[in-house]
Amino acid sequence: MVDERTQVEPTPSGLRQSLKNRHLQMIALGGIIGASLFIGSGAVISTVGPAAVVSYAIGGLIVVLVMRMLGEMATAAPTLGSFMEYARTSLGEWAGFTLGWLYWYYWVGVVAFEAVAGAELINPLLPMVPQWVISLVLMMVLTGTNLVSVRSFGETEFWLASIKVITIVIFLVCGALFVFGLWPGAEMSVSNIGKDGFFAHGGFSVLHGVVIVIFSYFGTEIVTIVSAESDEPERSVAKATKAVVWRVLMFYVGSVALLVMITPWDQIPTEGSPYAAAFTRFGLPAAEVVVDVVVFTAVISVLNSGLYTASRMLFALQRRSFAPSWVRDLNGRGVPWKAIVLSTLVGYVAVAASYVAPDTIFYFIINSAGAVALFIYGMIALSQLRMRRRLELEAPESLKLKMWLFPYLTWITLALIATVIVTMAFVPDIRSQLVLSLISVAAILLIYLVFVRRKASNA
C-alpha cells in the first residue's frame, strides 16, 4: 500500500497531488450523472412533455459553455480554489469571497440533502433504525473516507462513478435496440416522441424545464477543483473539458430522448424512477431493485464529492484570509482535516434540522441554495471575460484551450443564465428558491463588507 506521506511530494499549499488522470476522468464522467437524472427526469417529462429533450439540451448547452470557459482559465492558470480564485483576480476580492462562500454553502446543503435522501432509501431495509441515525452514519462513513487521504476519496469516487456510467451505457444500448424494434418482443416506437405534439405543454414549458434540469448538471465543475490534487492538472482538466459535450449529449439528452420513445411521455411515472420503468419494459429481472441500488450509489457519490468539494473550497478561502486561519491545518497525508470536519459539522446540523425543523430551518437551507448554481455560473462567465482579455495581453501563450467564438458565446451564455433566473421569478413553485437564494447572496456580501473589508481597511 502506497504511503502518501512519503511517496507524493506536497504542493506549495501542502496538499498532495495523489490523484491520477483516471480518477479525474471518471470523476468528471460520473459527476455529470446524479440521482436527479434517475429520479427527477420523470417529473421534468411530465411538466414539459417530449420537449423535455430540448430543456435538457439547453441546460446542457449552458453547462458545456461554462465548462469551456473554466477549461480555458484552468489550463492557463491552474490554481487552488479554481473559479473562486479566477473571480478574485478578475472581478475583485468581493467576488472571490462571495463565490467561494456561496459554493461552500451550496455543497454543505447538498451534503445534508443527500444524507437524508440516502437514509430514506435504506430505511425500508432497516425500519427499526431511525432515519436520522442512518443519515449521520452515512455522513460519518464518508467523512472518514475523505479524512484518510485524497487517494481514498479518489478511489471511492472512481468506483461509485463507474457504477453510474455502466448503468447509463447499458440503458442507452438496450433503449436504442428497443425503440428501433431490435429488442426481443419490441416494436419500433420512435414515433412516441411526437405523441400529442412535441411541445405538448407549449413553448414556455421548455424554459420551465430548463429551470429544473440546470441544477442536475451542477457538479461538473468539480473536476477543476480536484485537479489541484492531480499529478497532471492541465492535461486532466483539458481532457475532461473537451469531453463534456459528448457526455451531456449521451447521458442526458440521449437517455431522456430514449425515455420518451420507449414509453409515451404521459405514461412515464413521476414517482420513482422512469429508468426502472424502462428496464422493466425491457423485461430485465429485478429492474427496480437494480435501479434503486444505482440511485443509492449516485446519492453516496454526491455526498462523497460534496464533502470533498466543500472542504477544499473552505481551505482555498482560508489561503486568501477569507476563512478562519485554523482550517488550514493538514494531517500527515496532506488532507485539510479541520476543513472537512467543519463542513461535516455544518452538515450534521442541517441533517438534524431536517428532522427537528423540516419546514423552517431545513427548508431555508435547501431552498436558499436553489439559484446559487446560476449565480456561480454567471460569475464564472464574467471572470472569463476579464481574464481572457488580460491573458491575451500579458501571456497569450498560456491560452492552450480557448473558449469558442470569444466574446460572443460568453455573452450568449450570460444571456441564457439571466433568462433562466428571470424564468424562475415567473414559476410559482420555484420563485421562493430565487428569493431565498438572493437573501443568501446578500447575507454573504454583507459579511464581506462588515468584516473582511473593514479588517483590510484597519490593517
* Per-residue model confidence as pLDDT tens digits over 361-374: 667 777 777 789 99
The CA distances from residue 263 to 189, 204, 249, in Å, are: 8, 23, 20
Domain of residue 353, residue span: 10-453
Is residue 5 in a domain? no
Give the Cβ contact number of residue 143 at 10 Å.
22
Write the pLDDT tens digit of every residue in 304-319: 999 999 999 999 999 9
Identify whether 414 is part of a domain: yes
d(Cα 140, Cα 144) in Å, to the nearest integer? 6
In a domain, 72, yes or no: yes
Q: Quick one: 183 exposed, middle or buried, by C-beta within 10 A (0-12, 13-18, 19+)?
A: middle
Give the pLDDT score at 6. Answer: 38
Q: 272: Cβ–Cβ under 8 A, 6 or more apart, which residues?
A: 39, 42, 288
pTM (two decimals): 0.92
Within a domain: 41 = yes
Residue 4 has pLDDT above 80, yes or no: no
Instruction: Identify the pLDDT of residue 5.
Output: 44
Q: What's the residue count for the chain?
A: 459
Kindly report the CATH number assigned to the domain that includes residue 24: 1.20.1740.10
Whole-number Å distance between alpha carbons of 377 and 457: 30
Residue 315, in any domain of the structure: yes
Contact 336, 329 (CB under 8 A): yes
One-character DSSP codes across 78-132: --TTTHHHHHHHHH-HHHHHHHHHHHHHHHHHHHHHHHHHHHHHHTTT-TTS-HH
For residue 10, the cross-strand partners are 16
- Mean pLDDT (the chain, rounded): 88
Alpha helices in 248-336 (DSSP H): 255-262, 274-281, 287-319
Look up residue 411 and give its three cell numbers: 455573452
pLDDT at 269 over 70: yes
Task: Report how many domains make up the chain.
Answer: 1
Beta bridge partners of 19: 230
Domain annotation covers residue 4: no
pLDDT-based confidence at residue 455 (cuts at 50, 70, 90): low
Q: Is 256 helix (H, G, I), strand (E, B) or coil?
A: helix
Q: Is 457 exposed, middle or buried (0-12, 13-18, 19+ CB in 10 A)?
A: exposed
- The answer to whether 88 and 327 have CB atoms below 8 angstroms apart is no
Please name which of 32, 76, 70, 27 lies closest in space to residue 241, comparing C-alpha atoms.
Answer: 70
In the DSSP assignment, the letter for residue 450 is I
Could you give the count of Cα atoms lying within 13 Å of 46 in the half-sphere of its Cβ? Answer: 13
- Of the candidates 276, 270, 272, 280, the residue with the CA atom closest to the CA atom of residue 291: 276
* Residue 319 to residue 322: CA distance in whole angstroms: 7
3 in a structural domain: no
- Closest-CA residue to 219 (of 98, 369, 430): 369
Percent of the chain with pLDDT over 90: 51
For residue 346, is it within any domain?
yes
CA torsion 142→146→236→100, rounded to 10°?
90
| Res. 28 pLDDT band, cuts 50 70 90 | confident
